[in-house]
Structure 1
Amino acid sequence: MQTVRQLPALREAVAAFRAAGERVALVPTMGALHDGHLALVEAAKRAATRVIVSIFVNPKQFGPNEDLAKYPRKELADSRMLSTAGADLLWLPPVEVMYPEGFETTVSVAGVSQVLDGAARPGHFDGVATVVTKLFNQVQPDVALFGEKDWQQLQVIRRLVADLDLPVEILGVPTYRDDDGLALSSRNAYLIAEERARAVALPRALGFAERAIAKGDDPEGALAQARETLAAAGFEVDYVALADAETLGDPVAGRPMRLLGAARIGGTRLIDNIPVTTNEHG
């Protein structure tokens, strides 16, 4: 596996892939890799002949009181995992390469980015849209893969690509979970043992709510019960919401819906989401 940190070397490597007629996939990450990221790499290997993984802890998507400084960084371990997994190239740009002196541009996606996590974390999705646009321009992939755990992020990126006519196919990969149902996340490393044991309340609360809605119970009652369940487990709830799966606005009859939740336990903010199996409510 090649590891490159400067843009000319990246472009040279990608040009060689292109010259050989190969299809290029990109898996953007912030490192601290786990089996969920490796599932993205495996999906990328099925979708393309060359797999590029980027690791960049993007300062522009962290708020002023968020965890940029302590976000886990495991460059050596990540590199070994990716090499074993069969990635072809690791794009590992330093901050000064991604955001050179004088950098002034922000990419903003309205609508889908302004609710839920967008409301709870102002500016977050501007940072995501900006760095993803840069990564797409740097790597120029045929296809890019993102985990469905960050469902709102995935929809923001789909909107970005559609609106700007970017020539990249976006593939979502189902959420990878521990045996007890907790979605894998780099931030799970923050959880102490007692918090980790209680964290499973998040996927379970969403699951109970989804089943209630699917059988015809009042959605608002199901959402309220999920919030109460999380509060009883020691969570501070940011939101539990039923939304249109694409726009993340209010559900619309006949369109796919998604149930999404975000809550804090101790000092750790967890997010999760699941599809809703009925379109009767909206």
Structure 2
Amino acid sequence: MPVIEVSELRKSYGGRPVVDGVSFTVEEGEIFGILGPNGAGKTTTVECVEGLRIPDSGRVRVAGLDPVTDHEQVARVLGAQLQQSRLQAKLTVREALELYTSFYPHPADWRPLVERLGLTDRLPIAFGKLSGGQQQRLFIALALIGDPRFVVLDELTTGLDPRARRDTWQLIEDIRDRGVTVLLVTHFMEEAQRLCDRIAVIDRGRIAALDTPEGLIRRSAGRTVISFTPSAPLDRDALHALPALALAEERDGRLTLTGTDATVDAVLTLLARRRITAHQLRVSDATLDDAFLDLTETS
């Protein structure tokens, strides 16, 4: 049974539709991602899931509950890290954690969370004196402090340095492994490709595609690129006869061929047959970036 259900969700501002018939379900224990360009309706969608905005029409359920009319019950099982959040500038990290702990009947122990997020030495520091990345890490801790069954993370790692970002990804994988369902809004393709079991791509308020990361990549026009410097010239006729070849370029003796896996296999066979060595061989697969660009440009 889906634990989060969104059906024909619509929300407009000033007569302009921001979310226009969005539908998806999130299964228990999965990390479900939402991708989309700026202004696509991602944050409005998840704010309706959190009960922070009232939909114009459509149906939203979290564990069978309406996030608006059953808001208090939903708040007991749903943690949220918002895209934009603030605390009182003079509130220390420790005070914020203890305050949020008091909101829940069965909170998580915040000490391991703080250690995992690298905030232990920040406990006596006021919120207003934290860096942007430290503030972001604190809000992640506050989202998890209620020991939620579900958590919504909106732009999870914005402002984090690469090491902190990867540590946070591991934390999210760990909480998923403990049975927490995660709804993740992000614009980092690497983050989505690593973490998400399924992804909904939202463009102009509608679902452009919904699939696994691998499925989205397969459905896109993303290509595989092979580049190398051959030890002997390859004639153009041989190159253009390669299967699924989309583009062949040569610069300073280096060949760059764009195609599919079949193109790569054929190139390697051709080189072996002609006893040509491929120096500095590089193969780049299609990525979620390719899929995202394709889906949002053509939707």
TM-score by length of 1: 0.29
Answer 1 or 2: which has greater helix percent: 1
TM-score by length of 2: 0.28
Answer 1 or 2: which has greater strand percent: 2
- Flag the structure with more relative contact order, 1 or 2, with Cα contacts below 8 A and sequence separation at least 6: 2
